[in-house]
Structure 1
Amino acid sequence: MNKAVGGVIGGVIVFAVILGVILSLNPDSDVAEVEDTLDKEILPIDVPEIEEKLNEIEEIANSTEYEILEREWQTSGPFQIDRKEYAIGEKIFIRIGGLQYLEKGQIAVMMPLNATHQKVYLTIPFDESKKSAFNYYLEPQLSATRDICSVNDLIGKWTLVFRGTEYQNLYFKIIDKVVPGTNVEPVC
């Protein structure tokens, strides 16, 4: 039995060696084609639509002085936001981590109405029994249904209120700068 297994293994090895020698001597192998294509230079193809879009993007980049601000985390209990100021069209990163056992409530995102009053823009529920940590991205936008008609409605001091908890509010401002490519045309 051992001799039969040894014979089969020996036969497979001899066959593999012979196959390897035959393939290495064959000049029409796929390996030669791959090596030839590696030495060729890839030439760019001019497509007018792509050139036009690249020029448009470059023009937008040159016409704006938008610069991404450094992150400066603000924290209130298990809640964090990544900046104190945001440009119009920038995403607000909210990080929730380390909720207490069975802690639940809502994050009320309050937008400015005027210098003294705010209204609810959005509520984000949280419930430790379902998820003890998660991230949320928020991008305040113009909306006719929410009566946010122009960028002037977005600019100002915003507040995150943590309903159902004793945590302090977090504040941020949306300033009069626009992320390139953001639609700022009035919607109402």
Structure 2
Amino acid sequence: MNKAKITIPIVVGIIVIIVGISIITNQEDVKMEVEDALDKELRSTEEITPEIQEKFDEIEKINLENEYAPKEREWISSGPFQIDRSEYRLGEKIFLVIDGLNVDEKGQVALLRPLNSTHYSVYWTIPFDGAEKPAFNYYFQPQLSKINKFCTADDFIGDWRVVFRGTDYPPLKFKITEKILPGEEDSYQPVC
């Protein structure tokens, strides 16, 4: 009786293992057949013509040109004033950080846009007073404006200056390129 109690579970266990192996083996075969069928569907029977290849290449070139990754922040400084980069695309925000103004420092940050290679025009001014606020952040994004006569993207492209009126700190310099931040193309269509 003891031998029968031990033999039956062993036999049942061996049968379960054999059935399990056979099921697993059959499933792999089915999986392989499905993968082969999918692979056949993905293969094109038509030959790619030079015209189609030219279109593929053109699309790839456009995608590469439109890839965007912001430049790393550089934090260019002049005394307590800092900007985050030396170069921006149209549509990118320019961050200005003011930290550690002395109590007696009062004046204006003047953002100067290029008119030509030697002359600038004031685009924006930001007042500061160390007695009231020794630190603050500010950001701006040059935008077209019919009222202010900033009619095309060309009005912003070039080497800008940031000067600190009322102080002896040297100016900061940055450049805005002709490239436009993806998604902002409509914002730089001529307005006048």
| TM-score higher than 0.5 | yes
Tell me the TM-score normalized by structure 1: 0.66
1:96 aligns with 98
Shift of 1:173: 0.3
1:184 aligns with 188
2:87 aligns with 85
> What SS class does the counterpart of residue 180 from structure 1 fall into?
coil
Match among 102, 107, 110 for residue 109 of structure 2: 107
**Structure 1 CA distance for aligned equivalents of residues 97 and 164 of structure 2:** 13
**Structure 2 CA distance for aligned equivalents of residues 176 and 109 of structure 1:** 19
1:169 aligns with 171
| Uncovered stretches (5+) of structure 2, i.e. residues with no partner | 1-61
Shift of 1:61: 7.7
Shift of 1:102: 2.2
8 Å contact kept, 1:66–1:177: no
Judged with a 3 Å threshold, the aligned counterparts in structure 2 of structure 1 residues 169 and 65 are, in CA distance, closer, same or farther, namely same
> What SS class does the counterpart of residue 154 from structure 2 fall into?
helix
Deviations 1:158-179 (A, max 9, x none): 0000000000000000001111
Which amino acid in 2 is paired with 1:90?
A: E
Shift of 1:63: 6.9
Shift of 1:115: 1.3
Deviations 1:148-167 (A, max 9, x none): 11111110000000000000
Shift of 1:79: 0.1
**Structure 2 CA distance for aligned equivalents of residues 109 and 148 of structure 1:** 15
1:129 aligns with 131
> What SS class does the counterpart of residue 188 from structure 2 fall into?
coil
1:142 aligns with 144
Query: Runs of at least 4 residues of structure 1 off by over 4 A?
Result: 60-63
Match among 69, 76, 90 for residue 71 of structure 2: 69
Aligned-residue Cα RMSD (Å) equals: 1.6
8 Å contact kept, 1:61–1:180: no
**Structure 1 CA distance for aligned equivalents of residues 63 and 182 of structure 2:** 7
> What SS class does the counterpart of residue 72 from structure 2 fall into?
coil
Deviations 1:22-50 (A, max 9, x none): xxxxxxxxxxxxxxxxxxxxxxxxxxxxx
- As a proportion of its length, which structure holds more helix? 2
**Structure 2 CA distance for aligned equivalents of residues 95 and 166 of structure 1:** 18
Judged with a 3 Å threshold, the aligned counterparts in structure 2 of structure 1 residues 61 and 137 are, in CA distance, closer, same or farther, namely farther
Shift of 1:128: 0.9
Which amino acid in 2 is paired with 1:89?
A: G
> What SS class does the counterpart of residue 152 from structure 1 fall into?
helix
> What SS class does the counterpart of residue 155 from structure 2 fall into?
helix
> What SS class does the counterpart of residue 177 from structure 1 fall into?
strand
